[in-house]
């Protein structure tokens, strides 16, 4: 196998680098999305109970310690709990958009690699075939088969390498996109429950805590 790959030419190294980048991004995103999705119903019920008992600081601390966009939505709602429904909805929409961008971050890298690597393989194939045809034209009618076979091998290896990276990259993207979609559904459901609680059953009367900062997830990939 190593001997075959060694005949792939310089574009093979570019394709291999794309494969490594796609793998690293996939692992980082998969871990991040796994941490971001929590049992939102249990989390919200716990926060609601704390708020009903007047434990605002404890509720904020739980939101800060819990990863994921649902916790950020809940924390934003607590900080804006004395606003009217319109301003509260606007605050939730803003933090929701920011969290959505955070969970979708770097997915475009995997998509780009899935689209580019087959083209790189095709480029390597075309370049190798052109070189093979030049050899045939220059040395005809006695063409050394060893030289011709080397360029034909490079053409096939680059094509196979490009597809070998692109196919798993496509699968990885759809896997992550499915995870993101589930998180978005959790966010929408949580936002509705939060709005209903804050604007309906909410009865805590203490002053808002304006010094609290929004919680942000920490990526494992630096």
Taking residue 88's Cβ as centre, other Cβ atoms within 10 Å add up to 19
Predicted pLDDT of residue 36: 85
Predicted pLDDT of residue 154: 83
The CA–CA distances, whole Å, from 39 to 75, 76, 138, 216 equal 16, 19, 69, 18
Predicted pLDDT of residue 203: 41
Mean pLDDT by 10 residues, the chain (222 residues): 60 91 95 86 88 87 88 89 86 90 90 94 88 76 70 85 94 94 90 85 39 36 36
Give residue-wise pLDDT tens across range 37-86.
888 888 888 988 888 888 888 888 988 888 889 989 998 888 888 888 88
Q: Can you tell me which residue has the tokens 């809940």?
A: 74
Tally of CA atoms within 13 A in the half-sphere of 112 that contains its CB = 7
Predicted pLDDT of residue 29: 93
């Amino acid at each position: 196998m190593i001997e075959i790959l060694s005949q792939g030419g310089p574009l093979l190294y570019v394709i291999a680098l794309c494969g490594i980048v796609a793998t690293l991004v996939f692992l980082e995103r998969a871990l991040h999305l796994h941490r971001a999705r929590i049992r939102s119903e249990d989390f919200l019920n716990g926060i609601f109970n704390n708020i009903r008992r007047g434990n605002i600081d404890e509720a904020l601390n739980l939101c800060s310690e819990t990863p994921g966009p649902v916790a950020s939505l809940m924390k934003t709602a607590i900080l804006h709990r004395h606003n009217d429904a319109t301003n509260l909805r606007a605050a939730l929409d803003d933090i929701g958009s920011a969290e959505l961008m955070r969970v979708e971050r770097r997915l475009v890298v995997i998509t780009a690699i899935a689209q580019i690597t087959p083209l790189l393989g095709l480029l390597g194939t075309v370049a190798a075939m052109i070189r093979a045809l030049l050899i045939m034209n220059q040395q005809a009618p006695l063409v050394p088969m060893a030289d011709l076979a080397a360029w034909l091998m490079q053409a096939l290896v680059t094509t196979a390498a490009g597809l070998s990276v692109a196919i798993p990259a496509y699968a990885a993207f759809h896997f992550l996109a499915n995870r993101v979609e589930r998180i978005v559904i959790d966010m929408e459901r949580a936002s509705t429950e939060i709005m209903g609680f804050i604007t309906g059953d909410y009865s805590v009367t203490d002053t808002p805590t304006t010094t609290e900062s929004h919680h942000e997830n920490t990526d494992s990939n630096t």
